[in-house]
Structure 1
Amino acid sequence: MPARPRPLIAALGLAAATSLALVTAPASAAKGNDWPHPDLEKAYDATVAYKSEQAALNDGYLRTDDCVEDPTLGGMGYHYVNPAHLGSTDPTKPAALLYVDDHKGGRKLVALEYVVPNTGRPTPRIFDRDFDPAAVIPPVGDVYTLHAWIFKKNPKGVFTPHNPKVTCDCPEKTAS
């Protein structure tokens, strides 16, 4: 049998190692996610169907027409709230879904938000982190919140409330 050139053997070995790494990689890595907690994968899997706004509405999320944006911090988008999930720290049951205009007349899912009423108990936790400090949010009241930007990358971090890449302005809406 003729000797194989070393570069070919090395290339075959590298290909085999890469294939094995892909097979054993966590699902989030295989999907291209580098989320800081594995339960974010559960949240993604439970909510990916809500990329369809209609699916969210069918499952009890109530549509809003007020887009949240801070001129210095960035935007959050439109909050669709499911009252049955208020108080939940289950990764698969966010109280709110955040959408932005897709510039085609629809809306695109960008993030999740967990909302827990402030009842005087210790700060709630999910994804191995505390919720943001309690704040009064009309009409919900005094609540703790935690955002998870798993459908649109937030350069400030997955759990940062505002995303500097989110705006409430659509070019089609502002051009008259």
Structure 2
Amino acid sequence: MPVRPRPLIAALGLAAATSLTLVTAPASAAKGHGWPHPDLEKTYNATVQYQSEQAALDDGYLRTDDCVEDEKLGGMGYHYVKPEHVGSTDPTKPAALLYEDDHKGGRKLIAVEWVVPNTGQPRPQAFNRGFDGPFDFEPVGPHYSLHAWIFKKNPKGVFTPYNPKVTCDCAPTSTPHP
């Protein structure tokens, strides 16, 4: 049996491992999103159509004119809520779409949010993580929530509630939110 130098064997092993990684990589990594959970690709595909605010309204999301911002943490923007999705943990059915002013008289989609009423149940989970809360915020009442910043990068993390890059500068009113 011929003797192979150790560096060659190591290089072949590394090449084989790399090729297996490329074959088994999640779709989100292959598309370059780099999200921390592959199901966020499903969320993106289900909500990308709502980059048009009118598409969200036409599909039953209710527009709000209160912009959520915290002077220390950043903002969430405007919440558009689809009542029949409240309580869902399905990656394709977020209860809320979050928008910010585009400074041209319109709004652009920046994130999505799941909202689950707190009825004393265990903390809801999605994307292998527990929801934030519980919070008691009118008009929602006691609830858990989970944000996903998939349309605007959040330097604090994809699932962090507030984004320091979001402000309500153009908003007529601001509302604190837990």
How far the C-alpha of 1:24 sits from its partner, in A, is: 7.4
How far the C-alpha of 1:120 sits from its partner, in A, is: 0.4
The secondary structure found in structure 1 opposite 2:116 is strand
Letter paired with 1:110: I
State the partner residue of 2:71: 71
State the partner residue of 2:149: 149
**Distance across 1 between alignment mates of 2:127 and 2:30:** 20
Residues 25 and 128 (structure 1 numbering): CA distance in 2 closer, same or farther, change over 3 Å? closer
Per-residue CA deviation, residues 96-154 of structure 1 (Å, 9 max, x unaligned), is 00000011111000000000000101000000000002001110110000000000000
**Distance across 1 between alignment mates of 2:45 and 2:22:** 20
**Distance across 2 between alignment mates of 1:124 and 1:38:** 19
User: Which ranges of structure 2 fall in alignment gaps of 5 or more residues?
Assistant: 1-20, 173-178
The secondary structure found in structure 1 opposite 2:55 is helix
**Distance across 2 between alignment mates of 1:23 and 1:52:** 34
State the partner residue of 1:28: 28
How far the C-alpha of 1:23 sits from its partner, in A, is: 8.5
1:167 aligns with 2:172: no
**Distance across 2 between alignment mates of 1:57 and 1:26:** 32
Give the alignment of 1:25-174 within 5 angstroms: 26-170=26-170
The secondary structure found in structure 1 opposite 2:113 is strand
Higher relative contact order (CA 8 A, sep 6+): 2
- Matched-pair identity in %: 77
TM-score normalized by the length of structure 1: 0.82
The secondary structure found in structure 1 opposite 2:133 is coil
State the partner residue of 1:10: none
Deviating above 3 A after TM superposition, structure 1's stretches of 4 or more consecutive aligned residues are 21-27
TM-score normalized by the length of structure 2: 0.81
> How many residues were matched structurally?
154
How far the C-alpha of 1:29 sits from its partner, in A, is: 2.5
The secondary structure found in structure 2 opposite 1:134 is strand
